[in-house]
Structure 1
């Protein structure tokens, strides 16, 4: 799960496993695997970094080597 901020300033937590794509148009738009999209204040690079950190944490917790570089 990653913490993000909507354009209106409200904070929410997103399951990073549901992310399909991330684009900057110039706002950052996250497309989910179900077709929904969310616009956030964080940059594309920040969303990617948080997603990678989440996966590393998850794999460490599960005792597996992360498949993330």
Structure 2
């Protein structure tokens, strides 16, 4: 499952990093980011909950990137 954060939409609420700290963090400006190497991680329960909890729907889950 491809995991991404739309940086143009993110407001830095931090729900993603709070709910799934193994996948998300916040950058120096406080905006959400996917940890390196986790972009094509599995969409476990916490990742799906983090996507649902984002108040501006900046977290997206989609098909894995193709070769």
Structure with more of its chain in strand, by fraction: 1
The structure with the largest helix share of the pair is 1
**TM class, shorter-length:** 0.3 to 0.5
TM-score normalised by the chain length of structure 1: 0.32
- Asked which structure has the greater RCO (Cα within 8 Å, sep 6+), the reply is 2
